[in-house]
A = this chain, B = another copy of it.
Amino acid sequence: MREIGEDVHELARLLFRAAEAVRAPFEALCERFEMTPVQARALLVLDEPLPMRDMAAVLRCDPSNVTGIADRLEQRGLVRREPDAADRRVKLLAATAAGHKLRREFDAALGDLSPLTARLSARERQVLSRLLLKLAGNGDCAEGDR
């Protein structure tokens, strides 16, 4: 009988499936907070003000899109465009007080995707955490190949 996880192909597919399994509850969460997934991802990143150009890099989309995404978040009073003292071309995207509040609530809810983690024991969760940490690294996921 074939051993599970014997090759990287199998693992990559599994990772893909696990990602799929995470997406569903994430999107449900977005709906609950009345945000689109990109809007949520953008807001979640705004711990500190970020140039719009950098936001495009984070979201991995063309900079022109950030305009619209920021517009819609701004309409809801969740973010604000601030000038950059160092470079007047740059606009910093910053979460408002309401934005920070929502961001914290969303992040807390994100931690509650327990249906996913309930299938594992405490020990297994610990091992999985360690492996995922090693895998996902410092957030510098595989880029530069597009």
Contacts from A to B (Cβ < 8 Å)? 3-28, 31, 60, 107-108, 110-120, 124-137, 139, 141-143, 145-146
Contact = CB atoms under 8 A, between A and B. Distances in A.
A122 to B, nearest CB: 8
A15 B126 contact: no
A35 to B, nearest CB: 14
A5 B124 CA distance: 9
Contacts of A21: 135-137, 141-142
B130 A28 contact: no
A8 B135 contact: no
11 contacts: A4-B130, A9-B112, A10-B129, A15-B113, A15-B132, A16-B22, A16-B26, A17-B136, A24-B143, A25-B142, A128-B128
A97 B20 CA distance: 26
